[in-house]
Every structure is written in C-alpha cells, then in structure tokens.
Structure 1
Amino acid sequence: MHEVRDPQELRAIAHPVRLQLLDELFLGGPATATELAERLSQSPANCSWHLRQLARYGYVEEAGGGAGRRRPWRAIFRPRRWGAADDSAALAHAGSAVSELLLRRELDQLSDWRAARRAEPAAWRDNGFVNQAIGWLTADELAAVSAEIEAILLRYAGRAALPADRPEGARPIRFVAWGVPVPAAPQ
C-alpha cells in the first residue's frame, strides 16, 4: 500500500474530470485523450492536460503507440492510503478534501444504483448490498477489521487494470467501507 505523503499527489485527483478519466480508463481500458474527450463531453486539449497531471503523480501512464493526442493512456493500479496522525497540515487538508470528494461521488453512485436496480437482472439486483451495523470494538480490533476489509477489497481490485484477469460475466463493482468511532456522548 502506497502511503501518500505529498499533498500535491492528492490534489492531482481532486478534480471531477480527473476522476472521470480514471473511471473511464479503469472501466474501458486504454484510450486516447480524444477518445476520452468524446466520452466525457470535454475537449481533447482539456483531457490531455488532465491526463498529464495524473501521470505526473503515477495515476496513469502512456500505454505505448501513437503520438500527441493519438497516444493511448492507461490507468495504473496502485492502492494508496492517506490520513496518518502525523500528516502535515497541508497533507491533512488535501486528504480531507479528496476524501470528501470521493465519498460524495460514491454516495452518488449508490443513489444511482438504488434508482436503477429494478432494471437489473435478478442475480445482480439480489446480490448488490448495503450493510450497516454498530459494534463495540477496541482500537486494535478496529484496526484488525480495517485490515480484513482491505485484504478482501484488494483481492479483486487489481482486475480494474488487468482485463485478462476478469472472469467471464464479471462487472465492475463499487465498494465503500468505513469504520468510524461514534462520538462520545456528553457526560
């Protein structure tokens, strides 16, 4: 797991177009700035600029072949983590902003799924899930739960960048998990 220590690395993804570009590359595979521009209703120049910003921090890379706007780009699968207790103020601020943006984006995706799920085949409709629970844990137990969930998610996450590893019939699935302490009640 890559520990992000540079606020600029986080700011590189803190833009809606860049997040859309990453989604397109992970879901659709390598593509040129022009192809991505068509999919996102953006200009090729804008997509090219954002792709270069993503490449600067290791989120995407050139896939080889082509030149200029005709060169294909691919997403790089590299799990990242941020939000350590010893983060600088700048990194903590960037981390909070990116986390908020990503969480809002995932909640929008969940709302979209819930609105459209009745149109899904029964197997997909019935196996999609949302779970919620409250448990009493120690800090060490919470760390263990986090590690278990991370291990489960990483088991499948690499397939986003490696289409050959995807089983027949597989679809992209969005996972979001959090475990946060409930604020203490006033005494």
Structure 2
Amino acid sequence: MDAVAGAAWDGQAVHEELERVRAEFHQLLGSATRAELARPTAGTRWTNEQLLFHMLFGFLLVRPLLVVFACFGRLPLGASRTFARLLDAATAPFDLVNYLGPVGGARLCGRRRMARLFDRVIADLHRRVDAESPAHLALRMHYPCRWDPFFKDVMTVADLYRYPARHFSFHCGQLTLPGSPGAARG
C-alpha cells in the first residue's frame, strides 16, 4: 500500500465513505416533506433544504480545489501559505457568499435536481479516486483554516478527498429532519 504524507491511502475506504454519504443524502432528502425541508436547522441560519444544498456544495468544491492543488501543490509550500493567508483575510466576504449560495442554490435546484447533482458529483469523485497516482495524492498545500473547521493548515490531495464526508457528517447534526441527529434540538 502506498504511503501518502505519512499515512496509508485507502481508496476503498474513500469509495465506501462516498457511497455511505450518497445513501444518507438520498434518505434525508427523499423522506422529508416540504414543510420539514423549510424548517430552520439547529445552529445555522439555513433551512434544512438550504443546509442540504450546502452539504452537497462541499462535494462540488472538491473538483475546483483539485485544480488549485495542481497549481500550488507543485510549488514550494510557502507559496500556498501566502495564498491561504490572503484567503483567511477574506473570511468575512467568504462567509457571506457561503451563506447566500445555499439560499439561492436550494431555491434554484430543488429536491430532484439536488439528488441528481449529488449522484453525478459522487460518480465523478469515484472516477477521480480510481485514477489518482500516489504522487498526486501526496501533493501538499496550505489551506485557509478560518474558512472551515475541517481545513487543516497543510492538507494533501488525499486529505481533500476525505474532507467533504467529514463536512457532511458534521452538518447532519444540525439538520432538524426526522431521524437526523439534530431533530431533537430543532
């Protein structure tokens, strides 16, 4: 098994994680009524539907972040440190866009489109995981840690593939849909 930044890369575990999340997303989205999707979440300003879109967006971000890795991952680590600091300095505008994106995205997409889009992005991530080389998985760069609690100061491409499922699981606890961890608080 190839070592990636000091840890073993387990592509099969990533595949299993992607499928677990895909099934959970469909269950949450498919079993909720319109009224349940419109309810507020626990600890965010979003509705359940908007938070589900935000959770989907975490997976959509992997593709453009892989492009960023292709650039900065081949440069000295200091180059990405400067970039990450600039992004951290722009946290307030990011937070606004991060909030408004799911508000509009949920309205534009709706339940069926979100489900189809989730399936497409998961299928794409499966293909990408299968095509990864050990050298590419080991690329490292600094990340804007203030943007997301699951971004580490230095991340590898392998870390990036694990990020969206962690982000998803965290936000599941804020959903107030029946059967979700946050339902009792909502």
Same fold at TM > 0.5:
no
TM-score, reference length from structure 2:
0.29
Which structure would you say has the larger RCO, counting Cα contacts within 8 Å and 6 or more residues apart? 2
Q: Whose radius of gyration is greater, 1 or 2?
A: 1
